[in-house]
Each structure stands twice: as structure tokens, then as C-alpha cells.
Structure 1
Amino acid sequence: MSYVGPDFDPPQPRRSRRRVLTVALAALVPGALLGWVMYEAVGGDGGSSGNAAVQPSQARSDTAPTDSTTSDDKPPGPTPTTDSTSAPAASGSLKGKVVVIDPGHNPGNFQHTSEINRKVNIGTNWKECDTTGTSTNDGYSEAEFTLDVAHRMRTLLEKQGATVKFTQDGDRSWGPCVDERAEIGNKAQADAVVSIHADGAGAGQRGFHVILPGKVDEGAASTGPIVAPSRALGERIAGSFVRVTGNAPSNYIGDGTGLVTRKDLGGLNLSTVPKVFIECGNMRDSKDAAQLTNGAWRQKAAQGISEGIVSFLRG
């Protein structure tokens, strides 16, 4: 997400071949992540982190949501353990389940710097309301990326019967602030909240990572009840993201697990429902950027995140 400020911010077995494969997949996820650690140790790229805030670029022509996940530019990495073009593994309806998708930043934030720079209470201290986010070197903004992935996720999750709500849909001139983003999920009594981002680290730093809430009990922040379910949500998303996209966990944070715990993010600290962030890749690395700007890959990213949510909600 590369904020300018610090707040950058198994399914139950069934006696069918499909569910057996699903359970086997869940068991293999830690191994898949460990395998990526070995891959990165042998041939991965390294580098130092860095952040950048930019203005939104001209919209890309391939941003329209599509159900197709076929791509000729499959990212490097091990072969997924199951067909990445399949529908979510678990069957049945998510009717009655509420998912809140939080597309990070807002395309209009750069025009409202005074508003987004004002401080809000995140429980432990005060942080900036929001930031502009980062972009690729060619100017494709994080805010454009997060909205596109969010739209694709909504289509997939609504097909499963879930009620999907957004914290913003490009329908407001700036924001919302991080405290309001958390409040939207809380008021919706969401069963799961996922905040979509892309990082702005240094070139050579690649891969995704999922940010989990740490245990915080200070001021307005009391995350104790959501720490365990949020971790379960994050683990399901990380495993599905590896399987569907074929992408490695981050080689610069998370020790190769794709999971990072933080206590300084208002969007997590103020949440009273299970919530995680996902940094889908590094916009400042040319290889990651080539994927993040590709519509077919974004569909895979949306599918990977959505399948993790579905798996979590079905227990």
C-alpha cells in the first residue's frame, strides 16, 4: 500500500473427490509457502524498501472485470497444486454472509491533501486519515488497482451468495479515513473484511503478503477477540493466493510465510470483526508491476483472495 504516513496503510471433509482434494490442498499450503522460501533463497531477488505517493494515471484499457482467468503470461513459480481456473473449491451458498471489501486509497486523494493529512485516532495513537498510495513506474496507481480487484472480487463473491459491501467505490472525492473504513466493516457486522493494497517497496523486492492484526488493548483499540479469526482468514487467503496466481510470498517481509502481524494500522486496530490487509505485489518492481497492470492476472488475484474468503466463511 506504500502509505506516505505510517498507516499504509478446511472446509469440512465430504466423501467426494473434490473435497478430498480440497483437504489435501489445505494440508499442502504450508509446504507450498515453505517451498517458496527455498525458491527465494536460491534464486529470488532482494532489495531495500521504499515508498512513493503519486497521482492516478490514465485508466488502463484492460480494467473491465471479466470471469476469465486464462493468461498466457503465467508468472514464474511452482505449478499450482490444483487447477487455478476452477471455481471456489467449497460448494454451497454464502447467503447470509456479509463481506466488506476495502479498496485501499482513493483516486481523488491527491487532490485533497489537507483532508487526508489530518490526524485521526487509531486507538494507540494518531495517524494520517489516509494517503494517496503508490503507483507503478509507468503511472498505474494503487487506487486504480485496488478498485479493479475489488470489483472482480464482488462479482465472484456475489455468485456464491454473499452480500458484498465496499468502503468506497470511487464514489466520493477522497477517503474515507482509516477509522471510518474500520467503522464501515463494524457497522455491517461483517463476517470478513479484506483491505486490498499493493506495495511500493524497492525494485527487486517481490511477492505478496497478508497483514494480520496484533493483539492491542489501548484506547479505542481492542483487537483481542478478532486476532485468532483474522489469522485464520489471512492464512486461507495466503494459501489460495499462492495456488491461484502461482506467485511467491514476499521476499522482503514475512520470512517467506506471506504473513505479517502489525499493531500500528488503524484499519486493523479499530476493527471488531475479522479483518486483514493484502499487499498483492510490489508496484515498484518491474516484474510485479507487469502482473499488477495485467487484467488477466488481476482476475487471478481476485479469485485467489475470494477463494480464501469463501474457505474461511465455510469453516
Structure 2
Amino acid sequence: MWHQDRDAVAEVARSGNPLLLRDYSVICIFGKTVADIRLEPVLNQENVMGAVRVSVCASETCSRALELKGASTLIDIGKVSATLAHGVRNPLNAIKGAVVYLKHRYGSDETFVEFADIIDEEIAKLDGFITKFLSTSLLEMEKSRSDLHLLLEKVLKITSLQAQERNVRFVCDYGDVPFLEFDAFHLESAILNIVNNAIEAMGNGGTITFRTRLDTMTDRGQVTLDISDSGPGIPEGAFRTLLSPPRGNARDKGRGFGLFISREIIQHHGGHLEIINSKGNGATVRLCLPVESSHGETHAG
């Protein structure tokens, strides 16, 4: 332990004066951290210094400890999500059984059968989603070289009825971007979370714009997807904690949970998520995904 190229302990022992080393880099069990270290002489009964006391006060948590804390948060979220998924499946099976009975009981009514088939089909989709949700994790992604625009069109189709009910219009502004390596199941979930939040944020009426661009200014190159709504924007108090891990009932209607999960998914794809807030003029969620193994292939635009 050194102070101005001198042994700090020896200096305190020689001078008898306490010494404070601020922001000293020390080794901890997780790696390295920064701490304030106080060294002071310890006197015996004869008032003679017999030792030097060293007190360490860490001024920040080391990076590895923060990583472990983040992993623990994700594990807790995974447990809650799995419980929720199982809880949804039970009433889903009951609904499916009821539909089978009603189709058998009122099979002569063509209109009823038509709508019962729609319900049956949607139940099958939801059941398939739950099955895949429970059998995969962010660490087990199945990435493949895919078309981001086709994935967006699927998201638009899924959310179109919800948007129509709230008089929300979708606008697409697609650029020439390369195919990307991504897990379609997880990335679709991430984008759906953002779109659903945007629809709810606008209340009745508004526009959600989807804009894709190729950014060649970064080292590897990246594709940016901006999802912008024309709502009231995000309140400043909520904006500060929007992407932090959800705690208890701190998230209104679970919106923060969805954005947090979306960010984790994007980060596991090697990208990052940004929120650009314009109070009173809506908000933009920007997804930045790295260009990897694109081989120069682009969309028609």
C-alpha cells in the first residue's frame, strides 16, 4: 500500500500521524473496487505505538458485484414470469374445454362455429407462446439471419386490432438495412412490449411511427429501429427509473417491467436500448442492433 511512492504503513508507523488515502484501488473477491483507506497508529498502555490500524471504506460497488446483482434480479424475474405463465395456462385449458363443448352443442350455427374457431385458434397461439416461453431463456437464444422488416410486419398485424380500438395509426418508414442475426421469438416479444406501451400511452387517437436506418458511424455498424408515439411523453419522475429493475408495485400496470425485459433482450443481442423523451410531444424508444454476418444483403427499402 503506497502513498507518494512511500510505504503508507511504514510512514504512519514512523510519523505517528494518521493518513487517509482517498479513492485507492484495491482488490476484492469480485475483482477491483475503489475505496477510502484510513491508517492510524494504535498505542499501547505505555502510549507507545504498537501497530497500525487499517480501515477500508468502499466508495462504490465493484463491477463484478454489480453484474451478480443484475443476474440475481433476472433470476427473480424469471421465477415470477414462470409462475405467471403457469397460472395463465390453467384457465386457458378451461376456456379451451368450454369452446369444445359449445362447438359440439351449437355446431349447427355457422356464425357461432366461425367465431368459436377463431377463439380456438387464438388459444392455440397463446398456448404455444407459453410453451416456448417456459422452455427458453435469454441465455438460450436461437439466432438466425433474418429480415427485421418481416418481423415488424408480424408485430403490426398482431397489434392492429388493439390499435384500431384506440384510433391509433401505424406509419412505417423503412430504410435499406441488412439482414440481422436475432432470435425472432425474443425480439418479437421485446418489440411487442414497446408497441403495447405506446398504444396505452396515447389514450384515444395518435400515431406510432416505425423507422429503420443503417448506421455506419459505429465500429461494427448497427441498425437502429425507432418506435415513436405522438402521446404526452414520459413524466420526468418516471423517466429516471423507467429502465431500472421493477420492484413491488412501483410499476404502473407493469409497463416498466415490459421495458426492462425489452432492454435485457436487446442487450443479449449485443445491442442497446435508448429512450428519447419529448415531454408533450411523445417518446421514442430506439433499438440499436449490431450488424453481424450481414454479407451486405439489404432490403428493397
Query: What TM-score, normalized by structure 1, do the two folds share?
Result: 0.26
Higher helix fraction (1 or 2): 2
Q: Which has the higher contact order (CA 8 A, sep 6+)?
A: 1
Higher strand fraction (1 or 2): 2
Query: What TM-score, normalized by structure 2, do the two folds share?
Result: 0.27
